[in-house]
Structure 1
Amino acid sequence: MEEVYGFEMSDGTGDFFGYTADHLFADIWTRPGLTDRDRRLLLIGMLAGQGAADVLGIQVPAAYANGELDDEALREIVIFVCHYAGWPQGARLNSIVEETIAKAARRAARAGESS
């Protein structure tokens, strides 16, 4: 689960978290046949189509941080989603994508300043 999301998952408790971590991330995300990038593309498309901006706000930055999708790929996904899921869904995704890219640029600039 931490590998997929790209950050430490220390706040999970209870059965829901346990089932999610054990089944979804230990079994489903590790099945053969699709890469993590493939799975992420499918998931981002489904979430965008459903208008699930809250979960996209986790998935897009995780895909970016893990190196699965870069600036160009994320922006291309937005264009594609707009035409298949509708402009409002694509616009929401675009906001998340641009925020993700901008945050990464700010972090890189700060890291460059402290070097």
Structure 2
Amino acid sequence: MSETTELGLETMDAVYGPGFSATMPKESNPMLQDTIDHLFGEIWSRPGLSIRDRRLLVIGATAALGRADLIEIQVRGALTNGELTPGELREAVLQLHYYVGWGNGTQVNNGVEAAIAAYENETTTTNHEEIDS
């Protein structure tokens, strides 16, 4: 494994939470390898912006596409890493509604709320498991 690939996988874990890189398919292809090596190993890992700052930019760009599924991935990473609170994310939804159009903003809201619900469910389940142990 190249140093760039190792850095890319480490950065994926830093962006989306510990163990995320382990979910990558075992069978690689050019798109996946370029995502790991270039996007995460060379772009997300650059020192010029924090992961939080990069994430906010990605959320804004993705909001313009109206992709609730991609918003959800970014929001789950932000919640997992403690970069943004549910309140801050909901405020971002309101801000974005006026810049990306109401239809796209609605999709952003759907992705944010799905991620918050999943995160809160996981957090509640984990806390109950710790108490039961």
User: Are the aligned partners of 1:2 and 1:9 in contact in 2 as well (CA < 8 Å)?
Assistant: no
One-letter amino acid of the counterpart of residue 33, structure 2: G
What does the per-residue CA deviation read over 1:66-101, in whole Å, with 9 as the maximum and x for residues that have no partner? Answer: 211111110011000101111111111111111221
SS at match of 1:28: helix
* Cα separation, partners in 2 of 1:96 and 1:53, compared to 1, 3 Å: closer
Whole-Å separation in 2 of the counterparts to 1:109 and 1:14? 37
Deviation at 1:42, TM superposition (A): 0.4
Q: CA RMSD in A?
A: 1.6
One-letter amino acid of the counterpart of residue 14, structure 2: E
Match of 2:128 in 1: 113
Choose the corresponding residue for 1:69, options 84, 98, 102: 84
Deviation at 1:16, TM superposition (A): 1.4
Match of 1:97 in 2: 112
One-letter amino acid of the counterpart of residue 25, structure 2: D
Deviation at 1:112, TM superposition (A): 3.3
Whole-Å separation in 2 of the counterparts to 1:80 and 1:9? 33
* Cα separation, partners in 2 of 1:113 and 1:20, compared to 1, 3 Å: closer
Q: State which drifts further: 92-101 or 8-17.
A: 8-17
Gaps of 5+ in 2: 1-11
Whole-Å separation in 1 of the counterparts to 2:71 and 2:55? 10
Deviation at 1:32, TM superposition (A): 2.1
Whole-Å separation in 2 of the counterparts to 1:75 and 1:40? 15
Report the identity percentage: 43
Match of 2:65 in 1: 50
Whole-Å separation in 2 of the counterparts to 1:2 and 1:48? 23
Match of 1:2 in 2: 13
User: Are the aligned partners of 1:78 and 1:94 in contact in 2 as well (CA < 8 Å)?
Assistant: yes
TM-score where L is the length of structure 2: 0.77
Aligned length: 115
Gaps of 5+ in 1: none
